[in-house]
Structure 1
Amino acid sequence: MKNKKLFKLIKDTGRFKIILGILLTILNSALSYIPYFAVYKVIVQLMNKTLTYQQLMMWASITLITVVFRTLSITMASFLTHTVAFNAMHRLRLQVIEHMSKLNLGFFNNKNKGSLKTTLFDDIGRLENFIAHNIIQLTQALVVPIGLIIVLFVMQPILTICVLIPGILGVVLPMRKMKKYPQLTNQFTKSIEELNASSNEMVNCIKTLKMFNITATKFKRYTSAVKTYVNTLITMAKMSCKPIAITVVVLDSSLLFTIPIGGLLYLNGQIEAATLLLFGLLSMCLYSNLQSLMTIRMGMMELNSGLANIDEILALKPIVSGNKTVSKNEVEVLEFKKLCFKYDEDEVLNNINLICKPNTVTAFVGASGAGKTTAAQLIGKYWVATKGAIKINGININELKEESLMDLTSFVFQEQFMLQASIYENITMGCSYSKQLVIKAAKEAQIHDFIVSLPDGYQTKVTGIKLSGGQMQRISIARAILKDSAIVVLDEATSFSDIENERKIQLALQNLLKNKIVIMIAHRLNTIQNADNIVVFDKGKIVEHGKHSELLSKNAVYHSMWQIFISSYREGVE
């Protein structure tokens, strides 16, 4: 996201609030001079022995009123910038999520969850911090020094130049030390992404890790991520400490310039002692604001790193969609026509030709990496085909509206995802269905009896109960039955179920697959013996297809796979 886009986002979410916030900050900055001026006037009157009680109370009252107005102005400015910041953060998060929803599903296979979490929360959070806090700080850091320099220059040009020398050095010198900081910020962001991803992986695999006595310190990916994160932090600290130290030392040594020159001017009668004192006071105010510029600068570098990550996602092209529709009750044929697909430069599928019709089960089999899963995923536009096409009723799926394609297809995966919500909501997935239809789908999925046995029935929260893999699988099948899509893709739906659940899942699948075009990604060959067409993939190509008995009689690739499966099965039984 370029700075222009950032300014546009701020403009669209609250331009006038930001302008008003900046004006209030400028007012606050202008009022900050008054207490110093009041102290100056009191000291002058003391030195001249003309200070009265009334004058002292007047300057005290002015200072008090100034403090009140400064508090009110900065509070209002902070409220306005925070309002804009929260709205901008909300809007940008929705924009990023909305854009991600339009990307091909393969994006989520390739992108780790830690990276997405970092972008959605940490990177966008930096934007909120910049708008809510840094805009006010930046305004103060610029307005106060500029105003003070003008005032000081009017009072005494020569002494003002002396004051400016450490100010300029304190800002310019550290910048040279910060050239590599943006690169380090990017590394820091990547280290957080990897730490989040490895933490998620460790939590998800905690049962397996405990079985093998692998603690957090022995989990190499996690320990490596922690070390990288810590080392990056240390490197950033080392790099930022030097410029910050330079800034502090140079600015704090400003009196080495001011006092000798100011003293000389005083001895020559060119300035009064009170004026010299005022210069000393105001220069400290000037330098404190200049010091904050360094912190703001570092924050802006981190912001730019976060915005680059956001821009990387927003720059991705969404799924190509058309404006055609096909009713799921009218689907007559699913066709793979000269389909080719490359992932980066690696050829995954080459010249795939296949026709699937309703009331048929087509099984995709092959070794790992043969292309069977990719071929099935292309039906749902996980990726876009490099050449050729997948057609429904003769219409390229790229010409269909995305909503129409999603309505036509259902995927039942091996690993099931459950919302942290009720079982009812997990079946409907946010769509509007009558309760009768939901119950009917649950009955056909062989999960209704289990649901009603729970204390709260369909309203039971998933977080409050322990669901087996088979039960989650049947809830997933109930979703697909309720959706009633014309094309169903199964990724070995019974592969992780126990014997007790497998029979129920098979019954559920019979209800799901009625009158459907079914694509089954098979890992266990015994589950697809009755398939209407078994398609054998090898190195991205279809090498043979047919019924189980036909393929065995060919004594080719499928026959070899079957022999290996039977041999492994017998060994497992023995």
Structure 2
Amino acid sequence: MQQEPLQQVTTKDMLGFVFNKVLNQRWILVLNVLALTLITALQFVMPQFEKLIIDQVIPTHNFQWLALVIGGLLLTAVVLGILNYVSTYYMGVMSQSAITDLRNDLYHDLLTQDTQFFETSKTGDLMVRLTSDINNLQSMISANMLSMVGNMFTFVGVLVFIFIVNWQMALAVSVTFPLMFIIYRVFRDRIHKAYRAARLSQTKMSNQMQNTLTQIDLIKSYTNEDLAQDHFNETSEQNKQDMIRATQNGALFSPLIDGVNYLEVAIILALGAYFVMQKQMTVGTLVAYLTYVGMLQSPIRSFTQLLNQIQQSLVSYGRINEISQVRPTIEEPAHPVAFPTGNLGIQLDHVNFAYQVEANESTLKDVTFDVLGGKTTALVGHSGSGKTTITKLIDRLYDIESGEIAINGIDITDFRLEDLRRHISIVSQDMFILDGTLRDNIVYGRQEATDEQIQRVIEMADLTQFVASLPDGIETQVGERGVKLSGGQKQRLSIARALLKDAPIVILDEATASLDNEAEKQIQHALDNLTQTRTTLVIAHRLSTIYNADQIVVIDNGRVVEKGTHQALLDQNGAYAKLYNAQFK
């Protein structure tokens, strides 16, 4: 797995990333900005109604003028309500659309990663990034966030206005701004670090829950429920402490900001009262001035209230950004060649490979052999000798370090990955069953298959009687990981899937290893149907299943030590004979 050096993400990076998603819906953005502009303007007008009533209507006892002013106030309030509805609704539409695109992009990034990426990543952590982290980032495209931007414009406009009305009072209020800035600077990093720690402990807790759900049978069989509970309690307690620390920082931050706001009000009341008593300001102007100062506090308060969410979103953006920086090592060829047709043979020529290059220990060493077209080649050897690794290299789940793997003489790295993998069917001892119907599982590799084609592979996989016995037939739900199926039924279902794919190359990776002898005999007919006329590579632990293989390749410690037919290898009395004698004598 290639990974670009991770850079420290900034709020600017995050906002730029989010804004690019929003630009996909420019007309909604324009509509929201227009509504926000009108809202800001109307909010600016509202205090003027108060000033009119106090300074002009009340002294003149003009009830007609009072009715007009009150009517204007109510009409303005109604228009504000409508504009707020429009802004909130369409901001929600834009937010959901943008976040859906983001989630789809992240899912696509995950799908394009190499096998090694998933082997070195925790499932629970990836789930948190796809769900909680995405949801946290959604706050950056919410109606509250857009309102905050609008409030910043309101802040500037109102500040200029109150300087015009009374520069002394405005200057006194402005003295509190540096104090607010200092509080923000001090708490910004503390809140960010606190929420990052909380996110990491939440990920650890999610991983543990994932492991519990997938290993519940192991936990129960060893009666380790108490141990699992203790481990989860410990992780949960750590998450609680992290969240408390994050909450503590936020809880201390908000009162400090509120204290500064109250200080501003006290300054206005003190100076305003003085100017009113000196006949330099009317009562109506003072009331309106207090309202405008309140309008200054509103954007500051909303900004500080959103600070916690911004910091959480920044942490989530950093975690999402990490995935986007990972570059798969399995790359498509710049100039792919057409996949050959007809009888397909596989050639391995001096192949060397190691899962971890830095370990300086190769898994495969100078491996050379041919898988003959239309024939069956069996790989045998002790566990860990490199047999399964060879199948993964043929399917380009990994790339070799040196040597060559070719199909009909063409290096597999010259084929498009889709072309290569479309021509290979793999049936392994790890039976991957989808949580869906029997049909869903059978057509997984060929969605466009007809009912006649599906029925044919059901018969070839010896599933006809089983499917007929089910109330819903092929539409029967199999349950998560196929819990409603026996081992033999799962294996036949995997074979039916491979038959429908109809790939010319078949790889059987210990396909019957998890079955007993009786079940293996029942499966063998389906396997014979699958491998007939196809180029087949079989990994077998039970040597009784490969007597009739056209060629047997013996792997020991990552090297090819013997090749030949079953009888020829027995006559050599070498590594294969030792394996055979260990099983049957």
What is the TM-score normalised by the length of structure 1?
0.89
Question: 1:379 offset after TM fit, Å?
Answer: 1.6
Mapping 1:544-559, distance limit 5 Å: 544-547=562-565
Q: Percent identity?
A: 25
Question: 1:62 offset after TM fit, Å?
Answer: 1.6
Does residue 1:507 correspond to 2:525, yes or no? yes
Matched to 2:174, the amino acid is L
Could you say if the C-alpha distance between residues 353 and 251 of structure 1 is closer, same or farther in structure 2, counting changes exceeding 3 Å?
farther
Does residue 1:411 correspond to 2:426, yes or no? yes
> Contact 2:425–2:507 (CA<8 Å) still a contact in 1?
yes
1:78 matched to which residue of 2?
Answer: 88
Question: 1:443 offset after TM fit, Å?
Answer: 1.2
Question: 1:32 offset after TM fit, Å?
Answer: 1.8
2:464 matched to which residue of 1?
Answer: 448
Question: 1:30 offset after TM fit, Å?
Answer: 2.2
* CA distance, structure 2, for counterparts of residue 308 and residue 351 of structure 1: 42
Question: 1:246 offset after TM fit, Å?
Answer: 1.6
Mapping 1:253-402, distance limit 5 Å: 253-318=263-328, 319-322=330-333, 323-327=336-340, 329-343=342-356, 345-346=358-359, 347-402=362-417
> Contact 1:85–1:127 (CA<8 Å) still a contact in 2?
no
| Structure 2 unmatched ranges of 5 or more | 1-8
2:20 matched to which residue of 1?
Answer: 8
> Contact 2:510–2:538 (CA<8 Å) still a contact in 1?
yes
* CA distance, structure 1, for counterparts of residue 547 and residue 275 of structure 2: 102
* CA distance, structure 1, for counterparts of residue 74 and residue 291 of structure 2: 19
Matched to 2:54, the amino acid is I
Question: 1:121 offset after TM fit, Å?
Answer: 2.3
Could you say if the C-alpha distance between residues 330 and 227 of structure 1 is closer, same or farther in structure 2, counting changes exceeding 3 Å?
farther
Could you say if the C-alpha distance between residues 317 and 41 of structure 1 is closer, same or farther in structure 2, counting changes exceeding 3 Å?
same
Could you say if the C-alpha distance between residues 553 and 139 of structure 1 is closer, same or farther in structure 2, counting changes exceeding 3 Å?
same
Does residue 1:517 correspond to 2:535, yes or no? yes
* CA distance, structure 1, for counterparts of residue 27 and residue 67 of structure 2: 39
Question: Secondary structure at 2:306's aligned position in 1?
Answer: helix
Could you say if the C-alpha distance between residues 348 and 169 of structure 1 is closer, same or farther in structure 2, counting changes exceeding 3 Å?
farther
> Contact 2:498–2:530 (CA<8 Å) still a contact in 1?
yes
Bigger CA drift: 179-188 or 140-149? Answer: 179-188
From 211, 228, 231, the counterpart of 1:218: 228
Matched to 2:428, the amino acid is F
> Contact 2:345–2:370 (CA<8 Å) still a contact in 1?
no
> Contact 2:345–2:374 (CA<8 Å) still a contact in 1?
no
2:6 matched to which residue of 1?
Answer: none
* CA distance, structure 2, for counterparts of residue 344 and residue 62 of structure 1: 76
Matched to 1:479, the amino acid is R
Does residue 1:480 correspond to 2:498, yes or no? yes
Could you say if the C-alpha distance between residues 137 and 501 of structure 1 is closer, same or farther in structure 2, counting changes exceeding 3 Å?
farther
Could you say if the C-alpha distance between residues 521 and 281 of structure 1 is closer, same or farther in structure 2, counting changes exceeding 3 Å?
same
What is the TM-score normalised by the length of structure 2?
0.87
* CA distance, structure 2, for counterparts of residue 234 and residue 498 of structure 1: 54
Question: 1:87 offset after TM fit, Å?
Answer: 2.0
| Structure 1 unmatched ranges of 5 or more | 568-574
Does residue 1:39 correspond to 2:54, yes or no? no
C-alpha root-mean-square deviation of aligned residues, in Å? 2.9
Aligned residues: 565
Question: Secondary structure at 2:152's aligned position in 1?
Answer: helix
1:117 matched to which residue of 2?
Answer: 127
Q: What does the per-residue CA deviation read over 1:298-320, in whole Å, with 9 as the maximum and x for residues that have no partner? A: 32332233233333223333431
Question: 1:369 offset after TM fit, Å?
Answer: 4.2
Bigger CA drift: 421-430 or 392-401? Answer: 421-430
Could you say if the C-alpha distance between residues 226 and 366 of structure 1 is closer, same or farther in structure 2, counting changes exceeding 3 Å?
farther
Question: 1:564 offset after TM fit, Å?
Answer: 6.0
Q: What does the per-residue CA deviation read over 1:176-212, in whole Å, with 9 as the maximum and x for residues that have no partner? A: 1221433444433333333333222212222332233
* CA distance, structure 1, for counterparts of residue 104 and residue 31 of structure 2: 26
* CA distance, structure 2, for counterparts of residue 133 and residue 167 of structure 1: 26
Matched to 1:448, the amino acid is T
